[in-house]
């Protein structure tokens, strides 16, 4: 895909403004019969990736708004897993776009960090898990090469070898010389393409 961000650097919230609608579209394209299918994300089914992303988005959205995260998992309201995923993605996008979101200090699983940095990590996570979901369910996952390149550049600075424990991040996989930017990024994250 053409690079429309050439010469500019997108903030994490701007990256998520592109990534989250694509995630929601992929979520809407998942059939209930696909929920138990495997994904490239180690140990996660399609349902597992959806649940993981829903849980994280539900925890992170209040933090971007400067509110306390929920103290426990919310009770299911009876809505479908895909509907909960969609609502969580919508709330996360709204929160990361809220005034002051990038300026706040956010308590993350890896310690306190500026919202602007954390938004970039969330964009990386969303981009890679979006690829997991799309490839597992026969959907297209296509984003601007410039956006993918910016996320990739950030990830290569943020993800250290010490973080590659086999669970959160696996060992980087090799890619072909003609691999696309998204294939390079997901290989860096420890997935085979």
Write down the domain spans for the chain: 12-159
CB 185 within 8 A of CB 128: yes
Q: Convert the pLDDT of each residue in 15-67 to its tens digit.
A: 999 999 999 999 999 999 999 999 998 789 999 999 999 999 999 999 999 99
Q: Convert the pLDDT of each residue in 88-116 to its tens digit.
A: 999 999 999 999 999 999 988 778 999 99
Number of H helices, E strands in the chain: 6, 2
Q: What is the pTM of this model?
A: 0.89
Per CATH, domain 12-159 is 1.10.150.120: no
> Cα(8)–Cα(5) distance, rounded to whole angstroms?
6
């Amino acid at each position: 895909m053409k690079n429309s961000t050439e010469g500019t650097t997108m903030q994490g919230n701007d990256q998520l403004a592109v990534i989250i609608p694509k995630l929601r579209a992929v979520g809407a394209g998942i059939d209930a019969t696909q929920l138990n299918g495997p994904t490239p994300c180690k140990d996660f089914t399609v349902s597992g990736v959806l649940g993981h992303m829903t849980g994280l988005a539900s925890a992170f959205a209040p933090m971007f708004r400067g509110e306390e995260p929920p103290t426990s998992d919310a009770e299911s309201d009876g809505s479908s897993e895909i509907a909960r995923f969609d609502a969580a993605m919508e709330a996360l996008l709204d929160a990361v776009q809220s005034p002051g979101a990038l300026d706040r200090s956010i308590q993350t699983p890896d310690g306190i960090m500026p919202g602007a940095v954390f938004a970039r990590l969330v964009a990386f996570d969303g981009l890679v898990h979006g690829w997991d979901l799309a490839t597992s369910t026969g959907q297209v996952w296509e984003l601007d090469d410039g956006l993918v390149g910016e996320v990739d550049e950030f990830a290569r600075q943020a993800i250290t070898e010490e973080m590659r424990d086999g669970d959160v991040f696996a060992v980087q996989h090799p890619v072909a010389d003609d691999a696309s930017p998204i294939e390079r990024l997901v290989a860096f994250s420890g997935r085979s393409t």
